[in-house]
């Protein structure tokens, strides 16, 4: 598996290219991506709930 980073997010790749095996394994396992998804999902819930309530009050 190759390591890849697309513009404009390519700045992190040279710093972590020589990371310890355990860190590289976590990145490849998708834990970082899953954690970001869950954090975004939990932080967006109050905003989405407020939008739904505001729209239902307008009707």
Average pLDDT of the segment spanning 3-19: 63
- Residue 57: how many CB atoms within 10 A of its CB? 7
pLDDT level of residue 1 (50, 70, 90 thresholds): very low
- With a cut of 70, say whether residue 43 has pLDDT above it: yes
Compute the distance between CA of residue 29 and CA of residue 21 in angstroms, rounded to an integer. Answer: 12
How much is the pLDDT for 35?
74
Read off the pTM.
0.33
Please give the residue that has the higher pLDDT: either 46 or 9.
46
Domain extents in the chain:
30-59
Residue with tokens 């869950």: 38
Mean pLDDT (whole number) for 22-45: 74
Distance from the Cα of residue 27 to its chain's centroid: 12
Residue 17: pLDDT band (50, 70, 90) is low
Q: Distance between CA atoms of 46 and 57, rounded to whole angstroms?
A: 17
């Amino acid at each position: 598996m190759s390591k890849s980073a697309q513009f404009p997010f390519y700045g992190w790749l040279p710093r972590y290219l020589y990371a310890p095996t355990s860190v590289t394994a976590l990145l490849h396992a998708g834990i970082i991506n899953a954690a970001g998804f869950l954090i975004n999902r939990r932080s967006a819930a109050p905003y989405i709930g407020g939008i739904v309530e505001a729209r239902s009050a307008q009707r």
